[in-house]
Amino acid sequence: MYSLQIEEKFKELYKSQAQIIVRAPGRINLIGEHTDYNDGFVLPAAINRAVYFAISLREDNQCNCYAYNLDSQFSFATNNLTKTKYSWVNYLIGVVDEFQKAGKITKGFDLVVGGNIPLGAGVSSSAAVETGLAFALNHLNKTHLSTIEMVQIGKAAENNFVGVNCGIMDQFASMFGKKDSVIRLDCRSLEYEYFPLNLPNHTVILCNSGVKH
């Protein structure tokens, strides 16, 4: 449902079809709280809530962004990446900034972003924004980054531009998540292994308390 809404909003705003639609899931973590940014072990899994992107490249350096859930628009240029008062924009600019630092210069783009991950609820809406945009830019610009490189760009964007000292678990789970599986991740070495999560007599219930972290 959300992907269709995002795609239709893109057509309305930019009078064209998006070149790509991207889905980036949020995550839960079952074991290992606060151990990711301390280089420990974690056991996350992707969830069925996600952030969706409708995006097309431009021929200039202008980046036009629209946050569907917030009904908010913002534009910036790839040659003038400065922090804004809008937190949702800073995650996007941070990703572009990290692409440039890696020598992967990107064109401008038109973008609509939105989804059904509750903001500030601890299920990684920010990481989904970072990894989703990293995936889209990598695909559209043909920059040939590996999945782990895109994960690292998402983490670096949050650390360096947004200023949040997060670990790598959130971005890793968003990009490496697999259906009906959890990921045992060593946040120091980035070695990982999938384990099937088969609970025939139990249900994992993820509750949104409404209290933002």
Query: Which secondary structure element, helix H or strand E, spans residue 139, and what is its range?
Result: helix 125-141
Give the strands of the sheet with 20-29, arranged side by side: 20-29, 44-57, 109-115, 62-67, 72-77
Residue 105 phi/psi, 5-degree rounding, is: -70, 130
- Alpha-carbon distances, residue 147 vs 67, 128, 134, 151 (angstroms): 25, 14, 10, 6
Question: 113 has which bridge partners?
Answer: 53, 67
Catalytic residue of the set 39, 170, 180, 186: 170
User: Is residue 60 annotated as a catalytic residue, yes or no?
Assistant: no
Residue 165: partners with Cβ closer than 8 Å, 6 or more residues away:
37, 159
Contact 140, 57 (CB under 8 A): yes
* DSSP codes of every residue in 84-122: -S-HHHHHHHHHHHHHHHTT-----EEEEEEESSPTTSS
Catalytic residues: 170
